[in-house]
Amino acid sequence: MLMLCWFYCIPFAKLAFFASGPFLFVLAMFALKRGVRQQRGTLRQVAFFMMFAALMKMTTVDIYFLRPDLLCRFNGCHDGGFFRYVQVGGLAALVLLSLFLFNMYRSFAHDKPQKRITPEQVHLSLWANIGLLLVLVLIAWLAAPWAGYLTVGHIPAFFVRIPWQHLAELDVVILLIGFWKLEDCVWTYDPAERKKRGFKIDVWTAKDTLWVSVVLLLIGLGLSYISHDVLSMNTPSHSAHINVNLDNLDKLKGFDAVPATVPQVPGGINPSGSN
């Protein structure tokens, strides 16, 4: 369990830490849109505070902890004052983006009348169905290693040439677009409005499809932690974890070159019992 946690839990924790900034910023954008559509000033203020907190984390804390990666990627793993310029650039970006957020907050400070938009006008069902289809394709892609080994004994080359991460990123983008469209129609799914349309309460809607797609996507991403090594060209040089070939342990260099010796004791007596 400790080894599995080291290989999978630690990288996941690092991913969650660095992804928390962008996730909080995107969540704040959705909160801002809902605050605008529902004319809720407090929600808009919370959304701008979340945006500022996300930007401050990404331009200060994330840059500090990504120091080795930034140096090796852009400066040949040598500092020489380069990282100080990166930090100054991050602070400058924070100031500029903060001014932009402040001006944006002033434009959304007052409630404005909103026009009601139906799901049909924004093609919500289309985006929801595309998102669900792509999520199912991702799950099938991640299940390819196990299906390949159980049927033909190897992974089809098609599933190895295209990284599954690109498909997952496309799924996330499509689902975000779908939920963004959903915020335009939030009044349609308001409980007070649905009471007036009691006959539609039990009808499956595009909103239900989007949330089911999110649950399936989380299951697929959980499966990706298991399938990643198999899909990463299935070789030790491309894998992120340790690979041990048990069939070649006896062929390690120098293993057969050392002869087995039996220690001798004074008097010529062999400890094994033979003379």
Q: Which helix (H) or strand (E) holds 31?
A: helix 10-37
Q: In which region does residue 258 sit, left (phi positive, over 0), alpha (psi from -120 to 50) or beta (all else)?
A: beta
Helices (H) and strands (E) in the chain, counts: 12, 0
Q: What is the pLDDT of residues 220-251, one digit of tens each?
A: 887 777 666 655 544 334 444 434 343 444 44
Pairwise CA distance, residues 159 & 145, whole Å: 8
With b for 16 or more beta-carbon neighbours within 10 A and e for fewer, the 118-145 pattern comes to: ebeebebeebbbbbbebbeebbebbebb
Q: What residue segments make up the domains of the chain, in order of their start? A: 16-113, 115-241
* Residue 266 CA: distances (Å) to CA of 161, 174, 273: 66, 81, 14
What string of pLDDT tens digits covers the 275 residues of the chain?
566 666 667 777 888 899 999 999 999 999 999 888 888 888 999 999 999 999 999 999 999 998 888 888 887 787 778 888 989 999 999 999 999 999 998 888 787 888 888 888 889 999 999 999 999 998 888 887 777 777 777 777 777 777 788 889 999 999 999 999 988 887 655 555 555 554 444 556 888 899 999 999 998 887 777 666 655 544 334 444 434 343 444 444 444 444 445 455 455 555 445 44
pTM over 0.75: no
